[in-house]
């Protein structure tokens, strides 16, 4: 196995492990939120208010800024210009702080206008609208904190320190859980308690990164080298990247806008189902995308196209191996999963049915959401941010038309399906353009065989789960939650074993590599 491949697998493994811990705690957080808020209009208000700084976070923080910063920063590290790289990092942190302080002030002042734009349907319910504005003003400074966290994580990832950045989100979940459990009764408003928890989470995440930055040799003293060529390169790359990510966030904005005109709870239905889809996406696809971007950037800069192709191929094969069975499992077990995780307190049977239906629709696009996490950084590593922007614009138009066509007959389910369809179109067009642009340099080697193997093994797993679910030992009663949780866990474990055995029987290289790793750990 090549050093690059070992490095990527090790990095992805570290990020995946830490992300897994964060996602598990995230599930606990969502279970607590479901208990206190359910799918009420208060829940809708919180999710919209929290979504606004999150949209900006993805634009300015872990989205365009990080994706634009890492290739340029990695180039200086590859050229062994470490002191200059440190100056670039400190200047970037300073520039981000200045810009986002201004954005935060503007966001707090114009919060009513922002809520009107994001969720215009809320104006028909004055209490819902005012609560959303109030919560949004409390949480808006989170954009500044989390964007600095995201840039710090990008710096640490570039110097091959992956664990601390991946573990930081755990702190947000801890703060939100603690806040809603401890402050809901004294404050008399669980949504307000959550908003305070979000702010505490942002502060603790940033504080957690500081010792690791200093240990890596990066000072937090502001630097103002805004005319440095690297800063100009980052800004040039960030421009199209920002537009591209804006298109992605506009897609989310459109869904929120349209859902605000549907019945109370529609935004919550979309939120809870999206959170479940994000679980496999975050554990593997985001981890892999995080791990490969610095490697791809260095390989592209050095014109190591054979290694570049192998890295890209490894990522796509691994993605298919994980996401296809995850899709099958989420679709087959959607209702039991929602019931076991969320149905308690203010989250009732109706909420379970609505969220499980939305989950199935979202899950249809899981493979595409994951694949975009790989292919978009691939374009960034080639310092081509324009192509994802153009294709993202096409996908946005597709999403709007499909959402408008489906939202009235299918309600919130139609909005989820529109996201899945437009994401699939986005990836397929980008894949075609990547091959056309770099057909001599970028090749997916042996992709069809792993795809067929993963599809076949997932099909065997799906058929087995459907049959097992009818057996008395595995039938979900929807009456005894603890016993049903045990049955669901048994089904998930059985499904995983069936998929693994089927993959081995079909000759999957990915499964063989996992089996070899397990044997090595045991021996």
Q: End-to-end CA distance of the chain: give it in Å, rounded.
A: 20
pLDDT at 440: 56
Q: What is the DSSP letter of 188?
A: T
Among residues 160, 402, 105, 181, which one has the least CA distance to residue 290?
160
- In the 8-state DSSP scheme, what is residue 447? -
What's the confidence (pLDDT) of residue 306? 73
Q: Retrieve residue 203's tokens.
A: 């502060």
Residues contacting 449, CB < 8 A, separation 6+: none
Q: What is the 3-state secondary structure (H, E, C) of 253-281?
A: HHHHHHHCCCCCCHHHHHHHHHHHHHHHH
Look at residues 249, 251, 264 and name the one whose alpha carbon lies nearest to residue 39.
264
Compute the distance between CA of residue 84 and CA of residue 90 in angstroms, rounded to an integer.
Answer: 10
User: Do residues 352 and 343 lie in contact, with contact meaning Cβ atoms separated by under 8 Å?
Assistant: yes
Q: Would you write out the chain's pLDDT as a tens digit for each of its 523 residues?
A: 455 556 666 666 666 677 677 778 888 999 999 999 988 889 999 999 988 887 777 666 555 667 777 778 888 887 777 788 888 888 888 888 898 899 899 999 999 999 998 889 898 889 999 999 999 999 999 988 988 888 888 888 777 777 777 778 889 999 999 999 999 999 989 999 999 999 999 999 999 988 988 888 887 778 877 888 888 887 777 766 666 666 666 777 788 889 988 888 899 999 899 888 887 776 666 666 666 767 777 777 777 777 777 777 777 888 888 889 999 999 999 999 999 988 888 888 999 999 999 999 999 999 998 888 888 877 877 777 788 888 988 999 999 999 999 998 999 999 999 999 999 999 999 988 887 776 555 565 567 888 888 899 999 999 999 999 888 888 887 888 888 889 999 999 999 999 989 988 888 877 776 655 445 444 4
Q: The whole model's pTM is what?
A: 0.75
Q: How far is CA 249 from the centre of its chain?
A: 12
pLDDT of residue 358: 95
Q: Taking the CB of residue 495, how many other CB atoms lie within 10 A of it?
A: 21
To 5 degrees, how large is the angle CA 401–CA 320–CA 65? 65
**How far apart are alpha carbons 122 and 112 in whole angstroms?**
11
3-state secondary structure of 472: coil
| 160: enclosing H helix or E strand | none
How far, in Å, CA of 395 to CA of 97, rounded? 32
The distance of Cα 508 from the centroid of its chain, to the nearest Å, equals 27
């Amino acid at each position: 196995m090549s050093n690059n491949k070992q490095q990527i697998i090790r990095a992805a493994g570290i990020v995946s492990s830490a992300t897994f811990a964060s996602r598990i705690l995230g599930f606990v957080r969502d279970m607590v939120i479901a208990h206190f808020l359910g799918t009420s209009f208060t829940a809708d208000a919180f999710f919209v208010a929290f979504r606004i700084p999150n949209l900006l976070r993805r634009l300015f923080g872990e989205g365009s800024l990080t994706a634009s910063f890492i290739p340029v920063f990695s180039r200086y590290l590859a050229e062994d210009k470490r002191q200059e790289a440190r100056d670039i990092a400190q200047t970037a942190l300073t520039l981000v702080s200045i810009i986002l302080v201004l954005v935060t002030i503007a966001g707090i002042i114009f919060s009513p206008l922002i809520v009107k734009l994001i969720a215009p349907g809320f104006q028909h319910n004055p209490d819902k609208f005012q609560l959303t504005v109030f919560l949004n003003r409390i949480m808006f400074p989170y954009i500044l904190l989390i964007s600095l966290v995201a840039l710090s994580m990008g710096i640490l990832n570039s110097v091959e320190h992956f664990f601390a950045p991946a573990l930081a989100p755990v702190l947000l979940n801890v703060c939100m859980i603690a806040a809603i459990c401890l402050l809901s009764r004294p404050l008399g408003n669980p949504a307000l308690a959550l908003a305070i928890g979000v702010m505490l989470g942002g502060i603790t995440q940033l504080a957690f990164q500081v010792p690791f930055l200093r240990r890596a040799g990066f000072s937090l003293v502001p630097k103002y080298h805004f005319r440095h060529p690297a800063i100009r390169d980052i800004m040039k790359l960030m421009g199209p990247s920002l537009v591209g990510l804006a298109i992605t966030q506009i897609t989310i904005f459109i869904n929120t806008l349209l859902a605000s005109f549907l019945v109370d709870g529609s935004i919550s239905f979309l939120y809870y189902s999206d959170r479940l889809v994000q679980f496999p996406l975050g554990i593997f696809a985001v981890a892999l995308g995080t791990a490969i971007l610095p490697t791809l950037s260095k390989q592209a800069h050095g014109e190591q196209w054979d290694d570049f192709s192998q890295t890209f191929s490894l990522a796509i094969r691994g993605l298919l191996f994980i996401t296809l069975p995850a899709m099958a499992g989420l679709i087959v077990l959607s209702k039991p999963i929602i019931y076991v995780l969320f149905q308690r307190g203010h989250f009732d049977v109706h909420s379970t049915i609505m969220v499980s239906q939305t989950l199935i629709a979202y899950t249809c696009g899981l493979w595409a959401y994951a694949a975009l996490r790989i292919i978009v950084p691939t374009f960034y590593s080639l310092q081509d941010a324009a192509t994802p922007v153009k294709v993202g614009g096409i996908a946005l138009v597709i999403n709007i038309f499909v959402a408008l066509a489906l939202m009235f007959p299918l309600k919130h389910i139609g909005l989820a399906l529109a996201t899945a369809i437009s994401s699939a179109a986005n990836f397929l067009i980008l894949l075609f353009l990547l091959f056309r642009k770099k057909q001599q340099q970028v090749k997916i080697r042996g992709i069809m065989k792993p795809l067929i193997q993963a599809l076949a093994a997932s099909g065997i797993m799906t058929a087995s789960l459907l049959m097992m679910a009818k057996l008395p030992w595995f039938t979900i009663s929807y009456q005894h939650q603890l016993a049903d949780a045990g049955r669901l866990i048994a089904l998930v474990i059985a499904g995983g074993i069936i998929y693994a055995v089927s993959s081995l029987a079909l000759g999957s290289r990915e499964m063989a590599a996992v089996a070899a790793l397990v044997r090595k750990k045991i021996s």
